Structure 1
Amino acid sequence: MIPTPEIIDHKIRIYLSCCDENGVGRTGYIIVSAENPKEILEIGESPLVDVGMPGSFDDNGAICTSIVTLSNETKYLYYVGFELCTKIRYRLLTGLAVSDNNGLSFRKFKSTPVLERSNSELFFRCGPCVLQDEGKFKCWYVAGREWLQLENKMVPKYSIHYLESIDGIAWGDCGFECLPISRENEYGFGRPYVIKRDGIFKMFYSIRIKGKGYRLGYAESLDGTHWQRKDDELNLDVSSYGWDSEMICYSSVIDYENKTYLFYNGNDFGRTGLGYALLGD
């Protein structure tokens, strides 16, 4: 689940989370052909980022959502730490792992979150997408402090927030809510994935809809903080049957030559697998 792609040597390395029989996710990778992503060239044999020790913020999952290349050898991998709770179902915060060998292996920067919970973002500070732009690190992430009762089930309410950092490690306690929920049938915006093209920020994100599950959304911004939703322009919905007929979520995009690939997960939050679409202009 949650594909995060990068181009390496004319191939696409996709960081993703693979869950065990208990639903615990660990970050691994696959490598696919950049010419034909259906062609899987390599599957990682062991996790790149494993869960933390019992009682830590990532003891029940460590799921990559963003990769930043600082130099030819150094990469920052931002991941969601999943922690089961008693009074609420779970808590999601953000950790950082670092590679000094171009992504062959990673070590956790520290055993605590780099996006720790705060008073206004109490339960969720997770799912970040981090870009280096204009001499700083820019981060769009999921934040929330509320649970709702929907269809006899407690579900989280969350939206997309924005933060900046000088070093990609130290972040503020409270971000700016840059994409708030504005429609009655929506209660969550998940996994933002932002690219900058021709001076325009483009965000691909997941919309949690009452009674329908996740759908994909799209928005544009000139400054990265004020966004205009253009969901219909994405023109991508669930299939009439099959692995992505109930839900599509956790999208990411990458350019290769004259193509733009959008990777995404399907039904049951990605349990049914990973697919891709070819985006037009």
Structure 2
Amino acid sequence: MYFTSLDENKFGRTGYVDLDSRDPCRILHAAEEPVLDLGEIGAFDDSGATAFSLVRDGPRKYLYYQGWQRTERAPHLIFTGLAIDDGSGGGFRKHSRAPILDRTEAEPFIRGAPYVMKAADAFHMWYASASRWVEDEHGLHYDIVIRHATSPDGIRWIADDRPAVSTESPAEYAVGRPSVLFDDGVYRMWYAIRSFNEPYRIGYAESSDGVSWTRRDSEAGIGRSQEGWDSAMICYPQVVRVDDRLLMFYNGNQHGASGFGYAEAV
């Protein structure tokens, strides 16, 4: 399990833990050094590199991550990078000093939190996208939707013209951090929802083609606990199949200040 932790200056680096598949609370091994470190000063990932999605392509492993960079007027800019393990034993190396999802006219501020799936015809990515920052009675905030993109090689990407999943009410201002499974001909997506009138929660949507989605948030299968580490908020889901079990890893209060946990579908 790849995860990102912040140091005392709130710079983020990606590490990993090996978990017991029968008991995910049992840690078998923890990395002593970062898998992904900060980029050079001035780079798109000079403030943090957060891994989101691992894809195997033959002997190679592609680790998609978001790099963030602090800025003067907005809190940060976020774009997607790629690190590749070529199988030679040298570990992951960043593919480029530049993002593979960089700013565009339509998406100039945030193109991050990528979830990538390899299909027979192409690579598919769902990611968080912000086209503006807004300053209003709620303070300074972004508007985030989830978009879909395709690639022939996992490196060069073409994004769809319209969002895949959007906010649904004036109170919502962000849907992001998608996690996608393909089950029996149906694409299933879990994601984080951010609103002005309630804490982070986890939503759910379905699609027949991975492009057009129907939100079914009431079927997400998880809510905040009555007390404890995830009683104030739940966010950033990652859903995986382990044998015949469906597990969701997620963050709790204060965006995961105490770590991450998991839930199992019953």
TM-based fold match above 0.5? yes
Corresponding position: 1:26 with 2:13:
yes
Once the two structures are TM-superposed, the CA of residue 173 in structure 1 deviates from its matched residue by 6.2
Q: SS in structure 1 opposite 2:51? A: strand
Corresponding position: 1:269 with 2:255:
yes
- Which amino acid in 1 is paired with 2:25? K
- Which amino acid in 1 is paired with 2:134? L
Once the two structures are TM-superposed, the CA of residue 102 in structure 1 deviates from its matched residue by 8.3
Aligned length: 266
Once the two structures are TM-superposed, the CA of residue 182 in structure 1 deviates from its matched residue by 1.7
Distance 2:102 2:7 in 1: 26
Once the two structures are TM-superposed, the CA of residue 57 in structure 1 deviates from its matched residue by 0.3
Q: SS in structure 2 opposite 1:176? A: coil
Q: 1:162 to 1:173 in 2, by over 3 A?
A: closer
Structure 1 residue aligned with 2:111: 125
Q: Taking every aligned residue pair, what percent have the same amino acid on both sides?
A: 39
Q: SS in structure 1 opposite 2:43? A: coil
Once the two structures are TM-superposed, the CA of residue 107 in structure 1 deviates from its matched residue by 0.2
Match of 1:178 among 139, 152, 164: 164
Superposition CA RMSD, Å: 1.6
- Which amino acid in 2 is paired with 1:87? R
Aligned partners of 1:208 and 1:214 also within 8 Å: yes
Q: SS in structure 1 opposite 2:134? A: strand
- Where in structure 2 are the equivalents of 1:226-241 lying within 5 Å? 226-241=212-227
Q: 1:70 to 1:234 in 2, by over 3 A?
A: same
Alpha-carbon displacement from aligned partner over 1:77-118 (angstroms, at most 9, x marks no partner): 010101001121110000000012388720000000000000
Once the two structures are TM-superposed, the CA of residue 239 in structure 1 deviates from its matched residue by 1.1
Match of 2:36 among 49, 54, 59: 49
Q: 1:126 to 1:103 in 2, by over 3 A?
A: farther
Distance 1:103 1:30 in 2: 18
Match of 2:204 among 218, 221, 236: 218
Once the two structures are TM-superposed, the CA of residue 211 in structure 1 deviates from its matched residue by 3.2
After the TM superposition, list the runs of 4 or more consecutive aligned residues in structure 1 that deviate by more than 2 angstroms. Answer: 101-104, 148-153, 172-176
Distance 1:223 1:243 in 2: 36
Once the two structures are TM-superposed, the CA of residue 238 in structure 1 deviates from its matched residue by 1.0
Structure 2 residue aligned with 1:242: 228
- Larger RCO, structure (CA 8 Å, separation 6 or more): 1
Structure 2 residue aligned with 1:156: 142
Once the two structures are TM-superposed, the CA of residue 183 in structure 1 deviates from its matched residue by 1.4
Q: SS in structure 2 opposite 1:101? A: coil
Distance 2:136 2:165 in 1: 22
Q: 1:190 to 1:173 in 2, by over 3 A?
A: closer
Once the two structures are TM-superposed, the CA of residue 149 in structure 1 deviates from its matched residue by 3.3
- Which amino acid in 1 is paired with 2:171? N
Distance 2:146 2:90 in 1: 31
Distance 1:35 1:153 in 2: 45
- 5+ long unaligned stretches in structure 1: 1-13
Aligned partners of 2:51 and 2:66 also within 8 Å: yes
TM-score for the superposition, normalised by structure 2: 0.96
